[in-house]
Amino acid sequence: MTACAITLVIAYHFALAATEIGQPAPPLMTTELSGGAFDLSALRGKVVVVNFWATWCVPCRTEMPVLDEVYRQYHGRGLEMIGVSADRPRDRDDVVKTMRAFRYPAAMLKDATANGFGAPKALPVTYVIDADGIVRAKFTPDETGVTEKELDDAIRPLLNHERPGN
């Protein structure tokens, strides 16, 4: 195996490991559909939900109202959220149209300038990241769809947690 291939294998393994519960969240930088910038590392001190979805994904569309309700409920208490669409760039208009029904920001996966999460192998997948940048919950399609109670149970204790020095 060449040094380049070994490096790629190690980098791939690290990227996968970085998205596991209890590990630091990987970098995510992208441009929101609204034109604003989203930089996960700049959101330290806040709880962040990152949801990967697509317009053609029925389970994704089913849980989007749940994500929106949680965002509406907790955004004023420090919760940030982004929905990252895995749709093809040519389907951007469909993504924009879908997101008009929701308040939380969204972006296209292809617009990411840094994406340590990688392309999701299945959709939807949702990460809850604490104020210190650690992944605290991960909801994947091999489990039941994300419910408001599950998200609330994952987020509420993190919002109530006082960071040292606060």
Q: Which helix (H) or strand (E) holds 145?
A: none
- Closest among 69, 27, 50, 45 to 130, alpha carbons compared: 45
Judged against a pLDDT cut of 50, whether residue 40 lies above it is answered with yes
| Domains defined for the chain, CATH in brackets | 3-160 (3.40.30.10)
**What is the pTM (predicted TM-score) of this model?**
0.85
Helix (H) or strand (E) holding 28: strand 28-31
Q: What does the alpha-carbon distance between residue 115 and residue 54 come to, in Å, rounded to a whole number?
A: 17
Kindly report, residue by residue over 123-140, the tens digit of the pLDDT. Answer: 999 999 999 999 999 998
- What is residue 146's predicted lDDT score, i.e. its pLDDT? 86
What's the pLDDT band for 19 if we cut at 50, 70, 90? Answer: confident
Res 34 pLDDT > 80? yes
